[in-house]
Amino acid sequence: MTVDPLVRTAAGVVRGRWEGDVAVFRGIPYAEPPFGPRRFAAPVEAQRWDGIRDAVAFGPPVPQATNRSSVMSSVCDRTDDGSDDCLTLNVWSPDPGFAHLPVMVWIQGGTYLENNCANPHYDGAKLAASGVVMVSMNYRVGVEGFAHIAGAPGNRGILDQIAALRWVRDNIAAFGGDPDNVTVFGQSAGGACIAALLVMPSAAGLFRRAISQSMPGTYFSERLAAAISTTIAGELGAKATVDELARTPPRALTDATEAVIAKMPELVESWGPMALTPTPFSPVVDGVLLPEAPWRALARGAARDVDLLVGHTRDEYRLYTSRPGGAPTDARTTAAFDHLAPTDYRTAYPDATPSERYELLNADWLFRMPSLHLADAAHAGGGPVWLYELRWSFNREQGASHCLDFLLVFGTLGADEVRAHRSAHPNAANEITHVSADMRIDWVNFAATGTPGWTPYDPRTRTTRVYDATPTTRPYPEERSRRIWSAHEFDTLDLLRTE
């Protein structure tokens, strides 16, 4: 009979369970519930408990539009169903004890609006079985985590991530991990949070390596963030202050956020390019917690002692345009090229249709070029950096779309699911196993040794690992887009004008 694994943390003993050859611990609190007097505050370290705490189920999700638990309608200190106790993390370990294995800490994306570690595509079993201790976390999103609120610290969702990383530093050795060899990795909003963590003083020393996958290049000034929060609060007839919003149930705030998202394109003249994105939230450059946008800070040498792997997928924006109703309207296309493009895409892509150029523009502005420029900035600052692009895809509709890379790294997109897709490529179900293994092995090698196995990035050669049915190492493949954006400086987005 298999004995359930027990681990003593600084707060108390947790009991997980063996799932195959991996010990899994779910729902471990790393901070106190962020409600009642702690609503919109910085995270507070979890209190100690007596006895043994079962850690076999994921903790409740943080407030978000899809959440149906009682915390969504409550403003009190505790909820009957425990759904307020949402700042939890999870650990997968092949060898709980003192094995000193590399540690990989996952920071998921979700447009700064969604966050739920229970998503089966974030299962860390395959990564852990490859020889690392894998950690994932819930962190606050939406108004709770990223809105600019008078009287509250900014970037609360990232402060949650830092609190979880401190928990890792203090506790992960007992799970078999090496606290001196921690790699943070994340995708989309999670990748942009990692870029922020690289240059945040309060995160210094908490990780040794970082992997930023498909980071969006949006970081807000306080003025822009304040205008957005004022508009969201105004939907409820409130002010964007702690005193007023702390009396507002999370459900009302998510509803107000969705109402503002629907009319964001109408606000592009005042809010600027961010109004054409799918979310009203991003990290806020406040000069203190986040001193400046990551590109500037990295180029000046911030985090030069942190190994960095950064990259994107080829068809980043196809995820959005391939959805029902996702095809751009003429008005949307005009607005995008008026407010996003640094030059005429027709010259660089003469054979592309208007909708294809729209997709390329959004892929470049929002994901591909911010990632490439982050590599350039890290290199300029003297830090070691590697670059990748995912070109492999399994279906014609989405191509190598946003989010496909993390599914391959985690190995949670199966051959049967690929085979069942209505536009699957003929050999995709056979290819996915080894494409997934290629990426996962490289990510694990990077976490273990500080190199993923190919030549570091240099702006002169632009060496890039390109993941396809057979991976290759070659100069950066998106040369036409690189040239379009070569003179552009990604930086903090500001309010263009007040209403």
CA distances 4 to 1, 15, 19, 54, 460, Å, are 9, 7, 10, 10, 53
Cα dist from 417 to 390, 406, 424, 428, whole Å: 19, 16, 10, 11
> In this structure, how many other beta carbons lie within 10 angstroms of the beta carbon of residue 275?
20
Q: Which two tokens stand for residue 441?
A: 């092995």
Active site residue 434: no
How many C-beta neighbours within 10 Å does residue 417 have? 14
Active site residue 69: no
Q: Is 53 helix (H, G, I), strand (E, B) or coil?
A: strand
316 catalytic per annotation? yes
Identified catalytic residue from 136, 202, 402, 481: 402
Q: Residue 200's CB: how many other CB atoms inside 10 A?
A: 25
Question: What is the rounded distance in angstroms from the CA atom of residue 84 to the CA atom of residue 245?
Answer: 17
Question: In 309-320, which positions are buried (b, 16+ CB within 10 angstroms) versus exposed (e)?
Answer: bbbbbbbbbbbb
- The residue annotated as part of the active site, out of 69, 130, 136, 188, is 188
**Catalytic hit among 316, 389, 431, 478:** 316
> Distance between CA 71 and CA 113 in Å, rounded?
16
Dig out the tokens for 69 from the structure. Answer: 């638990």
> Distance between CA 182 and CA 171 in Å, rounded?
12
3-class secondary-structure state, position 378 = helix
Nearest to 105 by CA among 139, 79, 81: 139
Longest dimension (CA), the chain: 68
Residue 241 burial (10 A CB sphere; 0-12, 13-18, 19+): middle
Which are the catalytic amino acids?
Answer: 188, 316, 402
